Amino acid sequence: MRDYEVTYVIDPTLEEEQVTTLIERFSNLVTSNGGTVAGIDRWEKRKLAYEINGKREGIYVVMTFRASPEAKAELDRMLRIAEGAIRHLIVRPEE
């Protein structure tokens, strides 16, 4: 098990319920693969540095978690194909 931090940007045009469902889906994916979620920090709508998929704003979410490399790879795959997630980055925090 390793520690990771993922930052992802959610489409700001989604309804509040859809945003909450998306955040829960990603955290449940980690826990269902044997990992643990240490924290989820949701920022409100923020302006993006540049336009992504026609969007100038996004809802940022930062999740810290501990999981196997396989679970991290599955989360990465799900973030790539999920409707509503417009950008993401998974990193290992410095020790």
Written as one string, the DSSP assignment of 4-71 is EEEEEEE-TTS-HHHHHHHHHHHHHHHHHTT-EEEEEEEEEEEEEEEEETTEEEEEEEEEEEEE-HHH
Per-residue pLDDT reduced to its tens digit, 4-14: 999 999 999 99
Task: Specify the pTM.
Answer: 0.88
Residue 94: predicted pLDDT = 82
Per-residue pLDDT reduced to its tens digit, 34-75: 999 999 999 989 999 999 888 999 999 999 999 999 999 999
The structural domains of the chain, with segments of one domain joined by +, span 2-91
Residue 44: predicted pLDDT = 86
> Domain spanning 2-91 has what CATH number?
3.30.70.60
What confidence tier does 22 reach under pLDDT thresholds 50, 70, 90?
very high
